[in-house]
Amino acid sequence: MYRARLALIAVGLFAAPIAGAAQCTAESAERRVALLELYTSEGCDSCPPADRWISALPPRGLGAERVVALGFHVDYWNYLGWSDPFAKPEYSARQRAASRRNKARVIYTPQLLLNGRDFRRMAFRDDIADRVYSLNGEKPMARIRLRLARESPGTLLVHNTVVVPDAAERSAARAYLALYENRLATQVKAGENRGKRLQHDYVVRKLAGPYSIDSQGLAAISHRFVFGADWKPGDLHVAAFVQNDRTGDVLQALALANCPLDR
């Protein structure tokens, strides 16, 4: 009975093709999409190359259909003379939690996490494509559907439905929503990057969650994002991911990158 019920719910949520408002609705793929997190700071002089590297992933065939990229700006560099306008203490806390989970002794920037694990680019060959394609070959452990609704020029209502079919994954599974912005630039006036104009993509403006999955493997989430006065709606996008809170493994990720939020 339970399996039949879950199957019917999943069919209702995910099976129908999307038409008409497809640009503002998305559902996760049959393959696992990776999550790539960049922990960075405008106060760190070794971070700009990492920011440029992550911005250059889509032309290499690593767009949102294969890997969801998110840039988390940490605040622990702010004391060196430049306060990163995109930094938040909760992003520093997220990085520290990942380091504890991975039994790392230190935190550092720039740091990349691929599906919750530390990823370091090889010295003589960038193997990110190989790693992402390998993850894409794995079975997704969650299913995600996103629907966006503009309520006013400065607010966005996000409906997120998650199904986790595997009972063994449910207790530790947590869902997250991220509102991120592309094409950001800052003229840095102090600190290690003084005098440089830094450019960023995938900058997380707000992270909502964690949301628990119920005992039947379902989560129906509605979250309202309120835009900052200086945010550019045309460059704002929404991503969702489901992560095992104990291991850090990302069960599935989804980015809705083609919804025009400036309309």
- Order across the sheet with 25-27: list the strands: 25-27, 143-152, 155-163, 218-226
Q: Does the structure show a pLDDT above 80 at 22?
A: no
Q: Check residue 23 and give its pLDDT.
A: 52
Q: Does the structure show a pLDDT above 80 at 257?
A: yes
Q: Does the structure show a pLDDT above 60 at 204?
A: yes
Q: Does the structure show a pLDDT above 90 at 71?
A: yes
For the chain, the helix, strand and coil percentages under 3-state DSSP, each to the nearest 5: 25, 35, 40
User: Half-sphere exposure (CA, 13 Å, Cβ side) for 58?
Assistant: 10
- Say which residue, 22 or 215, is predicted with more confidence: 215
Residue ranges and CATH numbers for the domains of the chain are 2-7+21-256 (2.60.40.10)
Q: Does the structure show a pLDDT above 80 at 234?
A: yes
Q: Check residue 15 and give its pLDDT.
A: 40
pLDDT band at 258 (very low <50, low <70, confident <90, very high): confident
d(CA 11, CA 249): 25
Nearest to 178 by CA among 108, 242, 246: 242
The identity of residue 3, as a single letter, is R
Q: Does the structure show a pLDDT above 80 at 9?
A: no
pLDDT digits (tens, 9 = 90+) for 135-192: 999 999 999 999 999 888 899 999 999 999 999 999 999 999 999 999 999 999 999 9
Mean pLDDT, the chain, rounded, equals 91
pLDDT digits (tens, 9 = 90+) for 100-151: 999 998 999 999 999 999 998 766 788 999 999 999 999 999 999 999 998 8
Q: Check residue 125 and give its pLDDT.
A: 80
Residue 11 in 3-state DSSP? Answer: helix
The identity of residue 105, as a single letter, is R
